[in-house]
Amino acid sequence: MDHPLSSLEVIRPWRTATLIASAVATLELVLLVVAAVALLGEPVADRVRSAARAEALAPPKPKPAPSPAKVLPLGDTSIVVLNGNGRAGAAAEAAARVHKLGYIVGGVGNAPRTDHTRSVVMYRPGRRAEAQRLARQLEVTLIAPLDGLRLDQLLGAHVALVVGD
């Protein structure tokens, strides 16, 4: 009695052939990648090493000098006045004097510390000239970059006047 071949038996040889062909193709791909890395990897690595060595041994490049910032006119210079001595109303009095000179008073408040024995004019980066001008006009001898104050405490002002005793 003849038995017809089942459909699974007909498909199975093709499936096996497909799996073998896929395995051979994968092996060829892996071998090609290994060969490419072996042939191209060393020259590229040598170029990277020599470039890194040259960069490390090269003399430092001079940094360009920052261009001097344009000095702001009085009416465009914002000053925050802070009470650094703890005496009530000291910052308000100083703010009135600053305003009479023609500056913008950006804010009045208390300094983080209240033990300042001398008034000090502090400035944000690039605004030293404005601080020197204000200090000269108020006869304050102590001028410094921000010390004990953060930029956000300036409330956008260019210079801070901390009123001391």
Residue 5 vs residue 106, higher pLDDT: 106
Q: Is residue 86 part of a domain?
A: yes
Q: For residue 88, is pLDDT > 90?
A: yes
Could you tell me where the DSSP H helices lie in the chain?
A: 7-57, 90-101, 128-138
Looking at the fold, whether 82 and 155 belong to one and the same domain comes out as: yes
Cβ atoms 128, 136 nearer than 8 A? no
The pTM of this model reads 0.59
pLDDT of residue 109: 93
- Regarding whether 131 and 53 lie in a shared domain, the answer is no
| 82 and 135 assigned to the same domain | yes
Question: Is residue 31, in this structure, part of any structural domain at all?
Answer: yes
78 with 123, same domain: the answer is yes
Count: domains in the chain:
2
Domain of residue 111, residue span: 74-163
Final residue before a domain boundary, out of 28, 45, 64 = 64
Mean pLDDT over all residues of the chain? 87
